[in-house]
Each structure stands twice: as C-alpha cells, then as structure tokens.
A and B are shown apart, each in its own frame.
Chain A
Amino acid sequence: MTQDKSLARKAYWRANLGLMGVLLTIWFVVSFGFGILLRPWLDLVSLGGAPLGFWFAQQGSILTFILLIFYYAWAMNRLEARFAERLGSDDIPDPAGEDAS
C-alpha cells in the first residue's frame, strides 16, 4: 500500500468516526435525554396536546432515528466518493467479493 493510500485510509476512517460521534450524540440526546432523563422538565411544555418529553419518548425519538440513518447513508456515500480516487480499491483483497456473487 502506498504512503498516500494509507494516509487517505486513516483520514477516511477519522471522518467516519467523527460523523458517527455526532450522530450517536443526537441519538442519545433525543431518546435517553429528551425521552427519559430530561422528561420531567420537557413535560412542562406541550407540543399540540402532548407533553413534550412524553412526545419525544413515543414519537419524536423514532422520527429522529429514521432521519439519522438516512443522513448517515447519504453522508457516507458522499465521503466515499470524495476519497474514491485516493483510495482506489485495487489493492484491497476481497475474497468473498462484494460483487463476486
């Protein structure tokens, strides 16, 4: 593996971990934060007819989860496209083959 490829791999992996860190923080905040730990305070406010903490626990968290996954899929495609040239996949042995089947 060339020097540049190895650097590019490291940079790609770091970017991926950074993105994951941000998204998992949001994942934690909307469910464990808003839906559980902070619920007593959020419940003082209402969304329509529902206490906000209760709404996050039964609706808001799930909606956010869906958006998080689609955003991650989109952002990773963009990230991989950006690194595609520097990384190339020619030297990565892939015995089981993603397309081999």
Chain B
Amino acid sequence: MTATLFWTGFFVITSFALYIGIAIASRVGSTDEFYVAGHHVPPVFNGMATAADWMSAASFLSMAGLIAFSGYDGSVFLMGWTGGYVLLALLLAPYLRRFGKFTVPDFIGDRYYSDTARVVAVICAIFVSFTYIAGQMQGVGIAFSRFLEIPIEAGVIIGGLVVLMYATLGGMKGITYTQVAQYCVMIFAFMTPAIFISLQLTGSPVPQLGLVGNVADGTPLLMKLDGMLTELGFAPYTDGSKSTFDVFAITLALMAGTAGLPHVIVRFFTVPKAADARKSAGWALLFIGILYLTAPAVAVFARTNFIATVNESVYDAGTTDLVEGESETPDWFHRWENTGLLAFEDRNGDGRIQYRADPEVNEVTTLNRDIFVLANPEIANLPGWVIGLVVAGGIAAALSTAAGLLLVISSSISHDLCRKVLFKSMTDRQELLIARLSATGAVLIAILAGIYPPGFVASVVALAFGLAAASFFPAILLGIFWQRMSKEGAIAGMVTGLGVTGAYILTYKIFGWIPNNAEHWFLGVSPEGFGTIGMIISFAVSVTVSLLTPAPPPEVRELVERIRAP
C-alpha cells in the first residue's frame, strides 16, 4: 500500500495547491463579485461548476454502490437527480437570472413584497444547506483517515481550512473556478477505472455500451447478472422491490428538490444573461450525465464481478486445497478487509466464501456500498496511482459541494438577513465583511459537524430534498407563472410544505415514532418520497390562500412582467 499512499498524498496535495492557487488569483472586492462572480461566468464553465457543485461525495463514492445493491430501485436517484435540471432550465433558471439579484431569498422577498417571506426563505436555505454540508465534511474526513492514515478530525479540519480559504478570498468567483478544476479531477478519477473495468468485463471501452452488451460467452450481461443473483437467493437486478407509486413519488421529490435547492439555483445567477442560464443548464446536465450515465454501468460491472470472483472462492489457499475449477479469493478482498468495509466469517468452516441473500448462511457479513467505487481500480488491476486519483476525486466532490453550500449560508446571513432586514443602511464594504465573517463561522460549524456528525446525517439528505421540494419549488414556480400569488399564499405554502414534510420525515427516520416500513407509511409513500406529497399540499395551500387574500400590488405585477419578457 505504500505506493498507493504516496500517490494519494501526491494527488491530494497537488489538487489542494491548485485550488488555493485559483483562490489567490480570483480574490474579489465587491459584493456583486462575492455573491454572483459579477455575472461574468461563461455558460460552459458555469455548467462545469454546477456539475461539481451538485455532485457531492455521495454521488461520487456511494451512488454506484447504492445502485449495485438496489438494481432497478436505484433508478430513482438517476432520474430524480438529473430530471430536476429540466425543470430548472425550463421553469426557473432563466427567470431568476432575469430577476438579476443575488440569492433565492432575495427573489422570494421581492416577489412576495414581504420581509416575513424573506426570513422564512432564509431559514429554509440555511437549514437545507447545513444538513447537507455536515455530510460533505464527514466525507472529507473519512477519505483522509482511510487513505492517508491521518485522523478523521485532522482530515476534516484540513478540508475545512482549504474551503475557508478559497470561499472567503474569492467568494463565488473563487468557488466557481475551483469547482471547474474539481469537476475535471473528479470526472477523470471516475471514468478511468470505469473504462478499464468495462474493457475487462465486456470488451467495450464505453461503459454505457458494455451495460447493454454481452459477456464473453455471448449472453447479455444483465441477464447473466439476473441469473447469478436469483441463484443466490437475491431479487433479480432488473426488477425492483419498491412499489411503483413509491418509485414515482421519490423520483418526483428528488427532481423538484433538485430544482429547488438554493446552492444549485444561485449558480445560474452567475452567467451574463437569461439565454446563458438556459444553455448553461444544458452543459451542467451534460457534465453531470457523463458520471450519471456511467454509474449504472459501473454498478452492474461491480456486482457481477464481485459475485464471479468472490463467491465460492477459496479464502486462504495456504490452508485449504483448491479443487479443480476453483479459484482463490482475490487480493483486493483481503486488503479491504483491513479497512472494515468488508468482513468474512466462515460459518460452515469449508474455507470458501459463500455470498447469499439469506442472512443465516451468508458469509460476507459486512459489505459497505462505498467499496465498489473505491476498490474498482484494484479490481481492474490498475496501478496504485489510480487509487490516489479516486481519493482526490472523492475529496474534490465533497469540497466543491461544501463550498457552494457555504456561500448560500453566508449570503443568506449577510445579504438577506443583515442588509435587507436588520440593518438596511449598511454599506457594500460592511456587507462584504459580514459575508466573509459568516462564511468563516459556517465553516467552523461545518468542521464541528464533520467531527461530531449527528447520528442521522445519512437520513437528513432525504430531508434536504423533501424540504426544498415542498418549500422553495412551489414558491418560486408560482411566483413566476402565477401573478395572482400573494404574499400570504407564499408564506402559508412554504410553512405548511416545510412543516408537513419535516414532521413526516422526523417521525419515521429520526425519532422512529412509527416503524419505518411500507405498511405504516401514509399512502405507501416512503419518507424519501414524501416531498412529493408535501409539494402538492404546499401548492394547494398557496393557491387557496392567495385567492382568499388581496392580489399583489402593481409593482409586483410589473416585476413578473419584466422577468418574463425577453
């Protein structure tokens, strides 16, 4: 592992130096540059930065593994996390860009002529962003501790300080160009092993073709995997276990949540004009698609390869004799056992690994889903430097998302709360100072959250999407497309959407008041999919309350006219 350690250190340090170099080169001196990079980012670069902003450590490290274990059910993440960009490009981004200001609460506050609405939006934005950022910092810490033999705490602090440096110096401008660099690092790190594994397993260098291709004996890869899985007692890969209605609800919640997440929306404030916002959403989805179209292929390769090489293999050829036709457990299995991500227990004492669905006889007692991306380079027999690259890619994915979230938190506090509500006479310079201070404060909290992660980090990601889908998405959409929407309607809609969705997810996932299974769910909708129900309720409440309250004043009608006009 020493060569791997060397290369990991090399890539991580080089990439950090690159990020800091970019930060120093893109220092900013005005709020305009700090919040939206002066509206000067070209659409292609914004697309790349959005892709890095959007794809977190979870997309990079965990998604392929998650799909590998859930087969068809994993489609909810693939469609949900990409389909939202269609909503963003068609329904939100160009109009918000034409609105021309800095943040999402800015739009809510102006469109709904109300500081109450603005404060509700600030609270939603901060809450959504903090739930997300804790997971990112933890990801950085784990990557450091696992691969660089540095304690988790030190890893989180180093990562936090690097983000702090480029976020406070360069604001959105610094974040944008580091995200462009981070995108390049992560996509190269993801694609290299994927291409080699595809070649090894299917003979095609294009993983997407490998997915629909045949294995050496001529059977389609997916059919072979289905057959292997059913033989071991698992459900077939191409069949799902979730109900159709739940799959529908989760997909829609993730789509609307994606379109309503403030750190994604603000990226579209940075391009020069509305037409660029549309184009840039296309580039963003293309860059995201490169990873998202490859991940399901990697998932199939990894699961197939795992069963083919590990199941019924001889664990230790030194003590057990190989019968003809048998093979030894691959080296990478032994190496990953040391990390605790994999564990084997020889229950029947035959010296061979039995991987089965039935927990009574299954001997692979621990199988962490992150392993499929992390171990890919070794499974494909790639040299040690590729592993280093994958680690640097995972850290890049986590840091780029953390930085985007950080900016949302700092701008919500300095711009929306301080400048627009509390101290209206503040100067630009003072606002910039507060923006930098609140970014620093947010990093410190994020570092703490990364070191002492709240136990429910994994489940709160569902919360972030559900809340965004049930609060921001309806409020922004109706604000653009329905002039009659009043401030009372917007506030009532956001608060109910937030309350209902939050309560549902807390009940099942965090406090466990009611058992979290399909029998006990409302209409059979899982907490992950409840954002859809929350969104429908929020729409209904917004419309009803708006119709019962006075219409918005003429200035607001003009504002809506203006953002709709080309």
* Contacts A61-B83, A92-B565, A98-B272; A49 near B220 (Cβ below 8 A): yes
Choose among A31, A77, A93 the residue that contacts B83 (Cβ–Cβ < 8 A): A31
CB distance B248 to A36 under 8 Å?
Answer: yes
Interface flags for A84-101 (1: CB within 8 Å of B; 0: not) read 100101001111111101
User: Once bound together, how far apart are the Cα atoms of A94 and B274, in whole Å?
Assistant: 13
CB distance B213 to A94 under 8 Å?
Answer: no
CB distance A76 to B275 under 8 Å?
Answer: yes
Among the stretches B32-40, B415-423, B493-501, B517-525, the one at the interface with A is B32-40
Q: Is B478 an interface residue (CB 8 A)?
A: no
Interface flags for B290-306 (1: CB within 8 Å of A; 0: not) read 00110010000000000
Contacts of B39 in A (CB 8 A): 98, 101
Q: For residue B313, give the distance in angstroms from its CB to the closest CB of chain A.
A: 26
Interface flags for B62-85 (1: CB within 8 Å of A; 0: not) read 000001000010110011001101
Among the stretches B168-176, B280-288, B383-391, B464-472, the one at the interface with A is B280-288
Choose among A9, A27, A50, A68 the residue that contacts B212 (Cβ–Cβ < 8 A): A50
User: Once bound together, how far apart are the Cα atoms of A40 and B74, in whole Å?
Assistant: 16
Q: Is A7 an interface residue (CB 8 A)?
A: no
User: Once bound together, how far apart are the Cα atoms of A65 and B275, in whole Å?
Assistant: 18
* Contacts A65-B83, A101-B32; A13 near B564 (Cβ below 8 A): yes
User: Once bound together, how far apart are the Cα atoms of A47 and B85, in whole Å?
Assistant: 26
User: Once bound together, how far apart are the Cα atoms of A44 and B280, in whole Å?
Assistant: 37
CB distance A73 to B562 under 8 Å?
Answer: no
B467-494 with Cβ < 8 A to chain A: none
Q: Is B150 an interface residue (CB 8 A)?
A: no
Contacts of B213 in A (CB 8 A): 48-49
User: Once bound together, how far apart are the Cα atoms of A94 and B209, in whole Å?
Assistant: 49
Choose among B38, B94, B285 the residue that contacts A65 (Cβ–Cβ < 8 A): B285
Among the stretches B96-104, B187-195, B346-354, B433-441, the one at the interface with A is B96-104
User: Once bound together, how far apart are the Cα atoms of A59 and B74, in whole Å?
Assistant: 12
Choose among A59, A80, A94 the residue that contacts B275 (Cβ–Cβ < 8 A): A80
Contacts of A36 in B (CB 8 A): 75, 244, 247-248, 251
Q: Is B459 an interface residue (CB 8 A)?
A: no
Q: For residue B206, give the distance in angstroms from its CB to the closest CB of chain A.
A: 12
CB distance B565 to A24 under 8 Å?
Answer: no
User: Once bound together, how far apart are the Cα atoms of A51 and B312, in whole Å?
Assistant: 29
Q: For residue A61, give the distance in angstroms from its CB to the closest CB of chain B.
A: 5
User: Once bound together, how far apart are the Cα atoms of A21 and B320, in whole Å?
Assistant: 66
Q: Is B341 an interface residue (CB 8 A)?
A: no
Number of residues from A at the complex interface, CB < 8 A: 51
Contacts of A46 in B (CB 8 A): 220
Q: Is B446 an interface residue (CB 8 A)?
A: no
Q: Is A62 an interface residue (CB 8 A)?
A: yes
* Contacts A50-B222, A59-B293; A66 near B83 (Cβ below 8 A): no
Q: For residue B85, give the distance in angstroms from its CB to the closest CB of chain A.
A: 6
Q: Is A45 an interface residue (CB 8 A)?
A: no
CB distance B85 to A65 under 8 Å?
Answer: yes
Q: Is B566 an interface residue (CB 8 A)?
A: yes
Q: For residue B84, give the distance in angstroms from its CB to the closest CB of chain A.
A: 9
Contacts of B101 in A (CB 8 A): 96
CB distance B86 to A12 under 8 Å?
Answer: no
CB distance B79 to A35 under 8 Å?
Answer: yes
Chain B residue with the shortest CB-CB distance to A84: B566
CB distance B273 to A99 under 8 Å?
Answer: yes
Q: For residue B82, give the distance in angstroms from its CB to the closest CB of chain A.
A: 5
CB distance B289 to A87 under 8 Å?
Answer: no
* Contacts A35-B75, A37-B244, A48-B212; A98 near B86 (Cβ below 8 A): no
New contact pairs (9) apart from A57-B78, A66-B282, A94-B562, CB-CB < 8 Å: A23-B86, A49-B219, A54-B72, A59-B293, A62-B79, A62-B293, A72-B90, A96-B100, A98-B98
Tell me the B residues contacting A by CB distance below 8 Å: 32, 38-40, 67, 72, 74-75, 78-79, 82-83, 85-86, 89-91, 94, 97-101, 208-209, 211-214, 219-223, 238, 244, 247-248, 251-252, 272-275, 278-279, 281-282, 285-286, 289, 292-293, 296, 558, 561-562, 564-566
Tell me the A residues contacting B by CB distance below 8 Å: 9, 12-13, 20, 23-24, 27, 31-32, 35-37, 43, 46-51, 54-55, 57-59, 61-63, 65-66, 68-70, 72-73, 76-77, 79-80, 83-84, 87, 89, 92-99, 101
